[in-house]
Chains A and B, each alone.
Chain A
């Protein structure tokens, strides 16, 4: 091996290492910062690191007055309801989109994308106005409806792909063996599409737990979710409490990503939006 080749190889490795370093910094830098703040008792400019370490803020967050436990409960409750509502729509809609030869199939799939496509703020302002008039503002149901409008696109698209991935002859075989349409759906279609449906439920759950803007317009001040608590804390300059809340929000995200990775198979993902 000549020196020139060796030098080139080393320079390539160096470039790759630098690139990976930047990537790692972009991903883990902010999270590391969260950890620093979560355990900082005192941290004033121009110090590079906190002057005092401790966990007294954790106690404050979890104390009844801190409201973290209550808003975590609200967040999870809203997320669960959003999942139930989204699946209740996504299962029949996804099945119909996957199985029936609908003329406007593409348009229907696109319609579910609309809430994501238009700018959120004007929509939420209007929704808030409408909900105020019909008494849904500041209610859990109102927040659930807003979250579901967002979650549905994921739920319907993934459910439709999950149902399409179930070979139609498997359903025919069940009917042929004496199963009524409903029994066939319950014993064959649903179990086989199950992993995809669970994955879509998880995405909807995560989306709901994380959602801020809609909740802000529709829920405040009566409904306080974890992201709203974090927002209030960081607006008040209380970075410790904001960081601890953010870390709490990370827990379901990471846990569910691990589960999704197990459930969502490549063949289902490949069919999303088809």
Chain B
């Protein structure tokens, strides 16, 4: 049995099912990211592990111990909140030492542990500071220190980076990953940021409408999505219908093609390219003639919205094209992610 074992968890808020028979296992020392857009249930899942949400069905076990119905204070799960939730009437040391005071530690032992945490998080000399005088990044570290000080069974992180500047976020992301590996703590990380999930996690659980759409290693989820939803969420957000069974000659579905004869195709805008001459087009590729409708400069090149008649697709290309230019979108066969077109979870426009 995995270290954290969640089985058939169901949570409803006033008739709305937020978690629908969710089962997931997290191994000891592993960091699993719950990835999804807002309202998919990822935060509810985290809050049920912490004990702030009581499930109607299912069990949550940590190291074999059933914690499903324990109050939050008996669970030994340390949570880092999106707002950090530091207590403004306490100093940095007061915040970090709180959990230890609750566990009846002696003052001297608490002071030693707080110092350890401050060293670990490179916050030496901040012990007496009021938390209200800290920057966002420093608050984030204090919140992490408070969570780690009690040596919890589980570390739960609720979008802890979402309130930080981009640069600080990238820095802390790497620090957090290194720290998590070093102390070997088991962690569940909630985020809506795909890149964050890919860099931080050992495994990613993509969530959709209260269910886990796919659970797997970052590379798997990224390159081998199980459904059109996961493909779209992992960045393959160009979607169009193809004719099924047309062999090597990939062709977009025309109006009136029956559902059963369609295939849903997803591809990433940076894996397609634009061709201007017929001989630019390689074999075994989907070719979509179209017109540039919009163009954006994105630094390393341009991002184009190309109208192809059946669908608008986004393509990134290094060269500059004026809006209105006629072009061809070329998608190599390998870049196409194909799904049955009747996939009910397809939610991409």
Contacts and interface: CB of A to CB of B under 8 A. Distances in A.
A172 B51 CA distance: 10
B146 A175 contact: no
Given A191-B89, A192-B88, A192-B89, A176 B83 contact: no
A178 B30 CA distance: 24
Interface residues of B, number: 23
Interface string A165-199: 00101101111111110010001100110000000
Nearest to A180: B73
The secondary-structure label for the interface of chain B is loop
B150 A167 contact: no
A180 B73 CA distance: 6
A169 B88 CA distance: 12
Contacts of B87: 170, 173-174, 188, 192
A184 to B, nearest CB: 8
Contacts of B83: 167, 169
A170 B85 contact: yes
A177 B102 CA distance: 7
Interface of B: 50-52, 71-73, 77-79, 81-83, 85-89, 98-99, 102-103, 146, 150
Given A170-B85, A172-B85, 12 more contacts: A170-B87, A172-B50, A172-B52, A172-B72, A173-B81, A173-B87, A176-B72, A177-B73, A178-B102, A188-B87, A191-B89, A192-B87
27 contacts: A167-B83, A167-B85, A169-B83, A169-B85, A170-B85, A172-B72, A172-B81, A173-B81, A173-B85, A173-B86, A173-B146, A174-B98, A175-B52, A175-B71, A176-B50, A176-B73, A176-B78, A176-B79, A177-B98, A177-B150, A178-B99, A178-B103, A178-B150, A179-B73, A179-B98, A180-B71, A183-B102
Interface of A: 167, 169-170, 172-180, 183, 187-188, 191-192
Would you list the 9 A-B pairs with minimal beta carbon distance, nearest first?
Answer: A178-B102, A177-B99, A173-B85, A169-B85, A175-B72, A176-B79, A178-B73, A191-B89, A169-B81
